[in-house]
Amino acid sequence: MEKLLKKNGIIEYFQLQHQIDEIEEFAKANNYKFYLINQDIKSKGDLLKAFFSICEFPDYFGFNWDALNDCLQDYSFAPANGYIFGILNSKKIESSLGAEYDTFIDIFSESCKKWEAENKPFVLLLG
């Protein structure tokens, strides 16, 4: 699992629900941030609210795709050695959001590339 968590990218990880404690321990031991989205997400607004409330986003967060992109690309407001994001029930969220989910994945993918260029792990686990 350690190899997986030191990567950059978006990974479908169906064991996420069963390994939350292990991921939290890894994050704590390595000065990583671990953010788990486990809300009932039915809309873009729900998703953005979840990220704001869980991922330590600053008060000026604008609750739109541009604001999400900005925060994911500049995590200076919550410094760490790496970042792990987990989303439970991702298939249900994908179904609820439709094309908006593709936009979300595109934003995360670009952020992963940005952080990879800086040698900082940044991973999204879809459970």
Q: Where are the domains of the chain?
A: 2-126
Question: How many Cα atoms within 13 Å fall on the side-chain side of residue 42?
Answer: 1
Average pLDDT, the chain: 96
Phi, psi for 93 (deg, rounded to 5): -65, -45
Q: Would you say residue 109 has pLDDT above 90?
A: yes
**Residues 31-80: pLDDT tens digits?**
999 999 999 999 999 999 999 999 999 999 999 999 999 999 999 999 99
pTM summary value: 0.96
Q: Would you say residue 1 has pLDDT above 90?
A: no
CATH class label, 2-126: alpha beta
- Scanning the chain, the segments in alpha helix (DSSP H) are 2-5, 20-29, 44-54, 65-73, 90-97, 99-117
* 3 state DSSP class of 101: helix
Residue 3: pLDDT band by 50, 70, 90 thresholds? Answer: confident
